[in-house]
Amino acid sequence: MTDMNRINAQELEQVAGGASSAGSWKWVTVTGTKHYLAIRTAPTYDDKNEIGKVYNGTKIQIRPDVRSGAYVWAYASTIDKEGWVNGSYVQ
């Protein structure tokens, strides 16, 4: 990645295993978290890879086509962060 908070189109394509489209962002709401939903630099649960936090009721955008296990690529405009979030906590 060229910037730790952004993923470029080529990297999205590598993760997704196919062509990426800027038009595939989807608005969702964070829900069901006990404390917060972490935005991470990698699709793994580790406190060292947290780069931001969003809370229940927050609207964020996700790329449903960019997944790794339970994690999905997301952008939270409220904190201007982009990264991996656990997809179990968005709807």
Q: What is the mean pLDDT of residues 64-81?
A: 97
The token duo for 38 is: 């972490």
Q: What is the pLDDT of residue 13?
A: 59
DSSP run (H or E) holding 10: helix 9-16
Amino acid (1-letter code) at residue 49: N
25-72 pLDDT, tens digit per residue, is 999 999 999 999 999 999 999 999 999 999 999 999 999 999 999 999
Distant-in-sequence, close-in-space partners of 85: CB < 8 Å, separation ≥ 6: 37, 38, 39, 40, 54, 60, 62, 71, 72, 74
Q: What is the pLDDT of residue 41?
A: 98
- pTM assigned to the model: 0.75
Which CATH topology does 9-89 take?
SH3 type barrels. (2.30.30)
